[in-house]
Amino acid sequence: MVRIHNTGNATEEYNTVLKEVKNALNEAADCDESDPDKNCTTLDIDVNSTVVRKEEFDPEVLHVPQHSATGIVCVSVCDSRHQNHYTCQPGHCSLAASGPACFCPISDSHWFLGSHCQNKISKAGVYAGVSLTTIVLLAAVIGLLIYQLRTKRLTEQR
């Protein structure tokens, strides 16, 4: 495990550590154990005990490093500074197990739908539409009932 402090010279520290690791690996690869004067160190890596966790999404795509005056800052895809910013206007972006997700705002006057909260539906319009449709359907049913009763009455009179 390599630890690099998040300071202004983090890139330089990373490059130094990377160079040291490469040198150590090259020395281990070039070591001749039959030569008694060389102190060969073996790299003992147990592959069976290494745990690899599969992510649902690629964290390297969702997070990028941003250089700032105080050091390197990890910026997620939900941050507006990310080059592939996940827009959720007027909602709120959050990283879930399956990747970025938009959480739409709750409003007294509108519903927000869509994967990016891009569809705005007026609650008053929906209520008016449903009410008008109900009234029209009720009027149609009453009209059909009146028509049927009159037709029945006329056939009984003949």
In a domain, 18, yes or no: yes
* Nearest-angstrom CA–CA distance, 84 and 61: 9
Q: Based on the domain organization, do 15 and 67 belong to the same domain?
A: no
User: What's the domain range around 76?
Assistant: 56-117
Residues 64 and 80 in one domain: yes
The total of structural domains in the chain comes to 3
| pLDDT tens-digit series, residues 41-50 | 555 544 444 4
Same domain, 128 and 113: no
**132 pLDDT more than 80:** yes
CB 72 within 8 A of CB 10: yes
Please name the residues in contact with 32: beta carbons below 8 A apart, sequence gap of 6 or more. Answer: 38, 40
**What's the pTM value of the predicted model, to 2 decimals?**
0.47
99/115 Cα distance (integer angstroms)? 12
Stretch 129-150: mean pLDDT, rounded?
Answer: 96
User: Is 81 part of any domain?
Assistant: yes
Residue 78 C-alpha from the chain's centroid: 8
On whether both 13 and 66 belong to a single domain, the answer is no
